[in-house]
Amino acid sequence: MNNMNELLKIIENRHSDRGLFDSERTIPREDLEKILEAVRWTPSAHNMQNFEIIVVDDRKLLALISEIKHPPDLTFIKENYYQLSFSEEELRRKKVGILGTMFPQSWQTPDPQVEDIKNDERSLFMTKQIMSSSALLFVIYDPGRRAPASVNDFLGIISLGCAMENMWLTANSIGISVHIVSSLSGRGVEKEIKKILNIPDNLIIGITMRLGYQSASVNYLRVRRDIKDFTHHNGFKNMGLD
């Protein structure tokens, strides 16, 4: 029972650290190995183990990656807007999404303008985020190796998500902060990263994770739906377990 409670507490405390990390602190090799051991035992469709992990902690390589331009993605910003709340009260009421105040002003509108996005400080901050990291982990996979009869390799993609979760929970449990940098997995910058890291053309960057140690305490309100809000008992809309 104690082990189960400890596991649930680790899951509950898992979170994304979007702030800057302490660039002076390096992650001990034994802790990196713990994270990689966790991903080694990831459940995957048909035990395909459809991932490779590139660990980048060389400061010169991090600098090269940080210099890659991140063009604004209007689709992401527009769709992101509808996940935002603009007060803690609103976020607590919705029970889903995140606080909009963590994003630039130009992202806090349903109709963002390209020029405003280009001129905001987000790209500069992302550069600082990467350079403050102790390491980047790139999860790459071969889209040509589909899980059997899995349309659009849905099961293979789920497997990558399991790999991410195993690494994330393990990192957080040993005091290492994690932030998923979706822009470094996008097609817009993938070509440049492949050149820097010598990634073969047939492989795709699925997930990019920043690892490091918090340089300052940043506590954003985190919310979740109650069990009764998403559980259907013996049929849809029979809410909860009563």
Distance of alpha carbon 14 from alpha carbon 166, whole angstroms: 11
On whether residue 203 sits in a domain, the answer given is yes
CATH at 29:
3.40.109.10
Which tokens is 182 given? 């979706």
On whether residue 7 sits in a domain, the answer given is no
| pLDDT, position 112 | 81
Segments forming the whole domain that contains residue 166: 18-69+121-226
| pLDDT, position 1 | 60
Between β-strands 98-99 and 52-56, what pairing exists: parallel, antiparallel or unpaired?
unpaired
On whether residue 86 sits in a domain, the answer given is no
Distance of alpha carbon 147 from alpha carbon 44, whole angstroms: 9
What is the block-wise mean pLDDT of the chain (242 residues), using blocks of 10 residues? 86 91 95 98 95 97 90 82 95 95 84 71 79 96 92 94 97 96 83 96 95 84 94 94 86
On whether residue 87 sits in a domain, the answer given is no
On whether residue 177 sits in a domain, the answer given is yes
On whether residue 235 sits in a domain, the answer given is no
On whether residue 153 sits in a domain, the answer given is yes
| pLDDT, position 85 | 96
Q: How many CB atoms lie within 10 A of CB 160?
A: 20
Between β-strands 84-85 and 98-99, what pairing exists: parallel, antiparallel or unpaired?
parallel
On whether residue 140 sits in a domain, the answer given is yes
| pLDDT, position 111 | 85
Q: Into how many domains does the chain fold?
A: 1
CA-to-CA dists, residue 40 to 50, 51, 62, 155, 164, angstroms = 11, 10, 25, 18, 11
DSSP classification of residue 216: S
